[in-house]
């Protein structure tokens, strides 16, 4: 993904039809039409997702896997059908490789616990990068403190570009895991993922990819990437909250001990011992997020129906237009200008705190994110305490970019 400097409109993309599917976009905020530019934190939901979840709650809700009655069988079929949709979406080999979790954070913690504590040992090395979300830093720090593994950090440039050669120099025969983002939630930088994975494999290391900021912007083929683990969360890809996905190669998941114990993850239980269920049930203890999974399946269907390539082209046009427009505002500096990036713009403004910027924008109906974005080490690397972030999705428009620019002019006027 490369930033477009011009401001083209994708003539083949029916933005009006897309927006009509998201009821919340008709809302007004402080008397202004809503311009929702916080999609990197959580995206809005189309009718396809809302209706799918409502249907199951209203007409056939039951617990899954256990019931020998109609509603349980129907709900189980829909729940497992969502798993197959996600398998196909990621091009995983088997449904056994798709584990439902509460979110991407839960998926990373599952790997940190079951793979980290079950497979790794003191002296082994884990490599992360400066761009990671806290959810891909803190679990590895906890693992380091508990087990004695070592943590290394791959650097980035001042522009926010992943430094591949410097990363390669960090890898040794002791490197057992690389935990890396696919797309930075702050900078929008797209990492050279295939090269990162291939280099890690050349020294015998496994690779976990945080795809939470990627799957809604670009096709992901886990077999082509050859990653060992890939995680994402439902609420950023226009699905519900409370549902995440862990993809893991079947052989690795088979070798890992369970993360949690309880119902549905067992084959048999006696008072003396328990044996584990087959994949993926081994990692899905207790009643799962049933309707959330069904909603995520509906979101996958919806996004796939519109087409990720078409969505990406639309978002890149917005990114190019916004980059050009914001560059005209004196005192505004974009943080993260790597040539390969998705539709995220983080910025600072002279004499204006990010929270003040977001507050003034909200007065004009523009929803932005402000702060460290759960990426404090990245803020430190870029020499700022926080940024204001605009993140674009499939339903955003050039008019909303204009509203953003108008709000920033108001900020400039307010702070002199």
Q: Which residue has the tokens 């940190």?
A: 112
Given 374, 377, 402, 415, the catalytic residue? 374
Contact 282, 276 (CB under 8 A): yes
Helix axes 308-326, 398-415, angle to 10 degrees: 30
Beta pairing class for 344-349 and 332-335 = antiparallel
**227 a catalytic residue:** no
Phi-psi sector, 50: left (phi>0), alpha (psi -120 to 50), beta: alpha
- In angstroms, the CA 176 to CA 60 distance is 46
- In angstroms, the CA 348 to CA 290 distance is 41
Three-state SS string over 372-384 comes to CCCCHHHHHHHCC
- In angstroms, the CA 27 to CA 319 distance is 24
Q: Which residues contact 188 (CB under 8 A, 6 or more apart)?
A: 213, 319, 336, 338, 341, 342, 343, 344, 345, 346, 391
- In angstroms, the CA 189 to CA 342 distance is 7
At 72, phi and psi to the nearest 5?
Answer: -65, -40
Structure tokens at 191: 């990492």
Contacts 24+ apart (CB under 8 A), 148-152: 148/121, 148/122, 148/123, 149/116, 149/120, 149/121, 149/122, 149/123, 149/124, 149/125, 149/176, 150/123, 150/124, 150/125, 150/126, 150/174, 151/125, 151/126, 151/127, 152/125, 152/126, 152/127, 152/128
Cα distances from 127 to residues 118, 168, 193, in angstroms, run: 18, 10, 14
Contact 234, 243 (CB under 8 A): yes
Active site residues: 374
């Amino acid at each position: 993904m490369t930033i477009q400097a011009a401001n083209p409109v994708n003539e083949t993309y029916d933005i009006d039809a897309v927006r009509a599917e998201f009821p919340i976009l008709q809302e007004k905020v402080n008397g202004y039409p809503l311009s929702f530019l916080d999609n990197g934190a959580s995206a809005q939901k189309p009718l396809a997702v809302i209706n799918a979840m409502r249907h199951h709650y209203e007409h056939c809700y039951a617990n899954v896997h256990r019931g020998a009655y109609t509603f349980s069988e129907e709900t189980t079929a829909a729940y497992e059908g969502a798993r197959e949709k996600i398998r196909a979406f990621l091009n995983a080999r088997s449904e056994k490789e798709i584990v439902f979790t509460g979110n991407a954070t839960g998926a990373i913690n599952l790997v940190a616990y079951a793979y980290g504590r079950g497979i790794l040992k003191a002296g082994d090395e884990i490599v992360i990068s400066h761009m990671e979300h806290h959810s891909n830093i803190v679990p590895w720090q906890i693992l380091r403190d508990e087990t004695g593994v070592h943590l290394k950090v791959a650097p980035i440039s001042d522009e926010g570009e992943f430094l591949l050669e410097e990363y390669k120099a960090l890898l040794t025969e002791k490197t057992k895991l690389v935990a890396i983002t696919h797309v930075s939630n702050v900078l929008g930088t797209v990492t050279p993922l295939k090269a990162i994975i291939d280099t890690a494999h050349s020294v015998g290391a496994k690779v976990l990819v945080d795809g939470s900021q990627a799957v809604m912007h670009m096709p992901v083929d886990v077999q082509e990437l050859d990653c060992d683990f890939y995680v994402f969360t439902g609420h950023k890809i226009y699905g519900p909250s409370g549902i995440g996905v862990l993809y893991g190669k079947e052989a690795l998941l088979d070798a890992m001990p369970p993360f949690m114990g309880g119902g549905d993850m067992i084959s048999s239980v006696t008072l003396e011992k328990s044996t584990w269920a087959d994949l993926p049930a081994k990692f899905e203890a207790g009643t799962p997020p049933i309707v959330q999974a069904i909603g995520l399946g509906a979101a996958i269907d919806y996004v796939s129906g519109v087409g990720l390539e078409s969505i990406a082209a639309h978002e890149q046009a917005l990114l190019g237009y916004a980059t050009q427009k914001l560059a005209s505002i004196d005192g505004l500096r974009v943080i993260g200008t790597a040539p390969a990036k998705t539709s995220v713009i983080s910025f600072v403004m002279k004499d204006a705190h990010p929270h003040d910027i977001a507050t003034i924008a909200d007065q004009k109906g523009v929803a932005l994110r402000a702060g460290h974005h759960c990426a404090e080490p990245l803020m430190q690397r870029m020499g700022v305490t926080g940024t204001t972030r605009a993140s674009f999705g499939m339903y955003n428009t050039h008019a909303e970019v204009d509203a953003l620019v108008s709000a920033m002019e108001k900020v400039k006027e307010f702070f002199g």
